[in-house]
Structure 1
């Protein structure tokens, strides 16, 4: 038998901890991959539009050069147009803000994912956030340099000086934000170069809470400025719909070109919103070196390129009421800033626990106003830029005027509104005029009468709850009584008469008397003979039916009666029994049967009065607990009520 030898090959065991160089290499690759994704997305869009064009101006190489130029422009790089009518190069520095969203988001994700998944650790076992940030930024900027080198010989090359600022600085800041977010957003590394007093203050929880609240309020104010500006742009486009349509149709004659113009206009919508916000703040925006549009006036000689969004600018001349209405945008931004600040100052409305003082609230609102002004200045600088060297050298909002204007509006409106909102949230809940309790007690309405109890008010308490299960409509209704009578008549073998035709009134609900009077009369539910000429019925020779179980609902209800009510009922029954025995009906009371013999004898001896005594005797002397009917027979299926 051949001997089988099993050989096991052991692969080298990898270390559980990744080395620092491997982590940095992974971060570098992530940065390169993020830049390639953004460039590829823009390239695909441009190539699709180039393919769909019926008469393109250049070949695939020209389309690729346009795609690389747009990608560099999205990072803030300044492009240079070499093919101009004058022959002199002209700068293109107006960045479509919507086009920057995808590249910056990819860079942010690269920095965040590199720290979370790789866990960049130095030999001491601590995260090296600075190393990861530098590695991701280096990989991303390497692609930027390669693309700039490729586009150098195209019709839209990038200015070399503009590649350092803002593209390089912007990429590093965005990647650092991603790394900071992955580490839980600690404030220690951010304030590492701040003065010692600021670092000591940052160690306190209240300071961090105030700083975070100020940042949120500032972001909300800037967002409100952009939202209000977008609303103004929409109103202006509708107001100048004719000019906008004419400009749109003039730029492109076929559908592929019109799609390109439409996409370019959509990319500039955030720019237009910031321009409108600057217009509402007061400084307005420049339309060349010799013209500025403000709510008060629009003069000079504007240099307007033919573009649909620029066709919606206000008309030249002094401002009107419609132009002055644009100041509602900064007013709304200040109120939103105050709202966010007050909510952070008073977390729980109506409670002073954990609430800030008036001074702290005002300080946070002022800090938020400063942040709102800084954000507005940054967006104003990014939304504008030169489009030429002559009249279009200044185009868009002036950031160093927009920033202070936003600060003043936010501080003047936001700080007082934040204090007022804080006071409103600290108010005691349920403010109302005091009422005199003694005067209102006499004015309480009486309880409405209940129809089921015969107009008597329904009592409340344990006694009413005990008899709440008794049903007046189902047991005492005419249909139910006829059904019981027919059942008894069939059981008697035809000895019982038909249901009396004139007796159609439903019996009253015994529950009404029980609820109104806690001491009921046990004879109230006894059935009297509806006919005055009752004929004695012979005794039924059949044996008595089985007794009713003692745990039936109605007997249980009678057992739950108060003790004094039960004793009173027993005394009444004994008295009735004694009177019956004196009338000659004692035999019917002592037998304990339901045949009604004693009742018939009592009727024969005493006439009409004996019927009443016999009924009382049958109710008090029966041992089965069933009540006799009008003919003297026990009514099956019904138990005696208390």
Structure 2
């Protein structure tokens, strides 16, 4: 897709460059940011729909006739619905609506948007549009002004990509409607705008600098909270992934039995495997909800949690064979609840190290606030991972948003507050000991000098007089001119003339006269002479 965007970028300019009176300079031929964002959004939608149309066409040829509709228009309409589903756009169907959509399908538009955002940033040359006039104050204020300008630029780039992307998605939602499925237009506009804005802003920030530079665009306290929230969330998601893999391994026989019952064939088996892989992120978030305590449901009146399992009938999807049977849970499974506290402890240390507080009371509050942010993020992920499947008993699938958010906020927040307070106390104690160490530094230097002097006792030469002539080391030789030899210097090679030749002895210099003042020598203007008899001439 990048090559296609580059061709769109260079082709019009090559044509314009041939016209008389048109400047072909690259800086002058840069497009406005909204124009580049519109081209990037259109190419992203085109490439994404082309990929999904190809996959849908393969499934249409392998599936029974009529399963995906009749004719190529139905294939394209199905691909458009998959594209909307990749952005978590819900559908209204007879008897309910569908909200349980695979999160793995979001990888395709996110990747395309990231590449398009990078191309947009290069096409508009955002770096040369940063303000050149900064306040003439302290370096910290200049850095803050440049950071604010860069953040404003990142937001503008995200909006320039997200606005046309959402409008085009609304048109796709209108085209994808049929007698069975009706996409929600509002969900399509909102989901496309948010995804394009986040990914476009991230791509633009990545163009300005490296990943470490991207974090430095944020203020110190916001950067600490962002890193702490991300670390805690990643630790809990890693725990959820381990739970899912362990459940699949322990229930591998049930998974194989469900796979054999479907009898999908080779192409159908590949598509079924791909579908389960797309739902794997949903299962990982469900595992995170299980670890945090509230668990998740797969139907009304069901619950899969560390406190117990109450299951009902589930669809014949092989991945669902890893779900546990109804009944009590072994007490050893309660140990997984300790993982959110461990994640909070790590997040609190990160918050305190990135942005230490000057007071002992503020650090635990910032650590707890990072836990609250982690709970809000976990609630958003829980809402994206679940949703209804039609109506009736499968109208409730996935974890509860508010239960997961509250549990994660309390568990991670308490542990993060305690660890942030301890880490901040250690940092302040270390800073308090620093002045004592600096006060003892002269004493240590004197002791080291005495030790060196004592080590050189008895090793000095008998004649401690300086060597005759002008001797320069390497540093002086690089910065000072070589001196001119004068007649009054001692001849250091006099000993080579023979034993009978007496060395030249310099006569003692007469004492300087204090009654003569050389007023012509002002030493380069650094000497001021005062006339002591000026008062008598007034």
| 1:393 aligned residue | 395
Relative to structure 1, is the Cα distance of residues 37 and 115 closer, same or farther in structure 2, using a 3 angstrom cutoff? same
User: Which residue of the other structure, out of 116, 121, 144, is the alignment partner of 2:169?
Assistant: 144
The residue number in structure 1 matching 2:266 is 255
Q: 1:412 to 1:298 in 2, by over 3 A?
A: same
Cα deviation, residue 129, structure 1: 6.1
Q: Deviations over 1:526-581 (max 9, x none)?
A: xxxxxxxxxxxxxxxxxxxxxxxxxxxxxxxxxxxxxxxxxxxxxxxxxxxxxxxx
Give the stretch that moved more between structures: 268-277 or 133-142: 133-142
What do you get for the CA RMSD once the two structures are aligned?
3.7
The aligned residue for residue 442 of structure 1 is none
Over residues 338-391 of structure 1, what are the superposed CA-to-partner deviations in whole Å (9 max), with x where a residue is unaligned? Answer: 342354357xxxxxxxx8654443233222212211110110010001112211
Aligned residue in 1 for 2:99: 93
Instruction: Quote the residue 1:222 is aligned against.
Output: 233
Name 1:102's counterpart in structure 2: 108
1:159 to 166, 171, 184: 184
Q: Deviation of residue 236 (structure 1)?
A: 0.8
Partner of 2:306: 295
In 1, Cα distance between equivalents of 2:95 and 2:271: 24
SS in 2 for 1:153: coil
Deviation at 1:112, TM superposition (A): 4.6
Distance in structure 2 (CA, Å) of the matches to 1:27 and 1:166: 18
Change (3 A) 1:250 1:155: farther
So what's the TM-score if we normalise by structure 2? 0.64
What residue in structure 2 maps to residue 78 of structure 1? 90
| Matching residue of 1:330 | 340
Alpha-carbon deviation of 1:149?
A: 2.5
Distance 1:339 1:309 in 2: 37
Which runs of no fewer than 5 residues in structure 2 stay unpaired?
A: 1-17, 133-148, 211-215, 431-457, 460-538
* Secondary structure of the structure 1 residue equivalent to 2:184: coil
Report the alpha carbon displacement of residue 274 of structure 1 after superposing the two structures with TM: 0.7
1:14 lines up with 2:20 in the alignment: no
Query: Quick one: which of 23, 30, 33 aligns to 2:43?
Result: 33
Distance 1:400 1:343, change over 3 A: same
Question: Structure 1 residues 184 and 410 mapped into 2: Cα distance closer, same or farther (>3 Å)?
Answer: same
Deviation sequence 1:193-215 (CA, Å, 0-9, x none): xxxxxxxxxxxx99922320121
The alpha-carbon deviation at position 229 of structure 1 amounts to: 0.3
Residue of structure 2 aligned with 1:279, choices 290, 304, 308: 290
The equivalent of 1:212 in structure 2 is 223
- Please tell me whether the aligned partners of residues 232 and 346 of structure 2 are also in contact (alpha carbons under 8 angstroms): yes
- Distance in 2 of aligned mates of 1:220 and 1:22: 37
Q: Is the 8 A contact 1:277 1:329 kept in 2?
A: no
Structure whose residues are more often helix by fraction? 2
Q: 1:387·1:395 contact (CA, 8 Å) conserved in 2?
A: yes
TM-aligned CA deviation for residue 406 of structure 1: 0.5
**Kept after mapping to 2: 8 A contact 1:362/1:419:** yes
Residue 259 (structure 1) shift:
1.1
Map residues 508-519 of structure 1 onto 2, 5 A cutoff: none
* Distance verdict in 2 for CA 1:388–1:10, change over 3 Å: closer
- Say if 2:380 is the partner of 1:378: yes
**3-state secondary structure, aligned to 1:317:** coil
SS of 1:305's equivalent in the other structure is: coil
Higher Cα Rg, which structure: 1
Aligned position for 2:249: 238
1:65 counterpart = 2:77: yes
* Partner SS, residue 314 of structure 1: coil
Q: What's the CA shift string for 1:497-542, capped at 9, x where partnerless?
A: xxxxxxxxxxxxxxxxxxxxxxxxxxxxxxxxxxxxxxxxxxxxxx
- Normalising by structure 1, we get a TM-score of 0.54
1:445-464 equivalent positions in 2, closer than 5 A: none
Q: Provide the rounded CA distance (Å) in 2 between the counterparts of 1:113 and 1:368.
A: 34
Q: How far apart are 1:62 and its partner, in Å?
A: 3.7
Where does residue 411 of structure 1 map in the other structure?
413
CA distance in 1, matches of 2:261, 2:86: 26
Q: How do 1:467-616 residues align onto structure 2 when only pairs under 5 Å count?
A: none
Shift in Å, 1:276: 1.0
The gaps in structure 1 that reach 5 residues or longer are 1-8, 82-87, 186-204, 347-354, 429-460, 463-642
Pick closer, same or farther for the CA change 1:19–1:422 going to 2, 3 Å. same
Give me the whole-angstrom Cα distance separating, in 2, the residues matched to 1:423 and 1:102: 45
Partner of 1:362: 364
The answer to whether the Cα contact below 8 Å between 1:53 and 1:257 also exists between their aligned partners in 2 is yes
For residues 354 and 201 of structure 2, the distance between their equivalents in structure 1, rounded to whole angstroms, comes to 27
Given that 1:211 and 1:364 are in contact with CA atoms closer than 8 Å, whether structure 2 keeps it comes out as no
The Cα shift of 1:237 comes to 0.9
Once residues 67 and 43 of structure 2 are traced to their aligned partners in structure 1, the CA distance between those partners, rounded to angstroms, is 31
Is the alpha carbon distance of 1:18 and 1:302 closer, same or farther for their aligned partners in structure 2, counting shifts above 3 Å? farther
**Cα 1:71–1:365 shift into 2, 3 Å:** same
Report what 2:277 is aligned to.
266
Secondary structure at 1:315's aligned position in 2? coil
Instruction: State the Cα distance separating 1:132 from its structure 2 match.
Output: 4.5
- 1:312 maps onto 2:314 in alignment: no
Greater relative contact order (Cα < 8 A, sep 6+): 2
**Cα drift, residue 57 of structure 1:** 3.7
In 1, the alpha carbon distance for the partners of 2:343 and 2:384 equals 20
The answer to whether the 8 Å contact 2:299/2:397 transfers is: yes
